[in-house]
Amino acid sequence: MAKKETALKDDGIKRKIKDFAARTLTVGLHTSVSDIANKIMKDIGVMDEKWSRYTTIELYNGINKDFYKVVPKKDRVVFLPHCLRNIKECKMPVDEDGYHCLKCGKCVLGDIVKECEKNEMKYFIVGGGSQVFNIVQRHKPKAFLGVACFNELQMAIEKLGGGSHFPGQGVMLKKDGCVNTEVDLTEVFEKMNM
């Protein structure tokens, strides 16, 4: 029961953050994203590093949203972290383009991969930022969706740019760590289907 209550509370906080971020972006940015994230956190009464990071990513998502939405799905790429796989059961082969999901059903990657295929979106299951940059150079997508921990997402946003040049969306992992991580599939699918 405690896990369900925590999930409901987290969903409520996410909604508040998204609402505040959307309202903030309608009047324009007149200060840094981190300052705006801190103000939003104070306004909703949650001063926690996890939520501050989530707010930062949602602000970047808001800034890039309209640019991202106009790129056809076939011209987007989805980057997924290999840490979402079930490390004990996973038999995915790997090469320079990352891991290749076998859709065995033993982790959430298969569900995400099936959604990518349904939407004709390219996807890559990668080990980190340097691999992402190499893939972008080779495949030249026009927009990206990244699923990762905060540090990896922030690095991607800073290095890949954003705006009309190479718009992106990010989904932070619910549980990070580098092994057997977790993500909110609803958020991933919402961003994919924008």
d(CA 153, CA 169): 9
Question: Which pLDDT does position 110 carry in this prediction?
Answer: 92
Residue ranges with strand state E in the chain = 76-81, 94-95, 98-99, 122-126, 143-148, 168-172
Going residue by residue through the chain, which has 194 residues, state the pLDDT in tens, using 9 for 90 and above: 466 665 556 777 777 777 766 666 665 656 666 766 667 767 767 677 777 888 888 888 888 888 999 999 999 999 999 888 888 888 888 888 888 989 988 889 999 999 999 999 999 999 877 788 888 989 999 999 999 988 888 888 778 766 668 899 999 998 777 777 889 999 999 999 99
Say whether 35 sits in a helix, a strand or coil.
helix
Question: Which pLDDT does position 79 carry in this prediction?
Answer: 95
d(CA 171, CA 145): 8
**Number of residues written out for the chain:** 194
Question: Which pLDDT does position 88 carry in this prediction?
Answer: 87
Place of tokens 């954003």: 162
Q: What are phi and psi of 31, to 5 degrees?
A: -155, -175
All structural domains of the chain with their residue ranges: 2-192
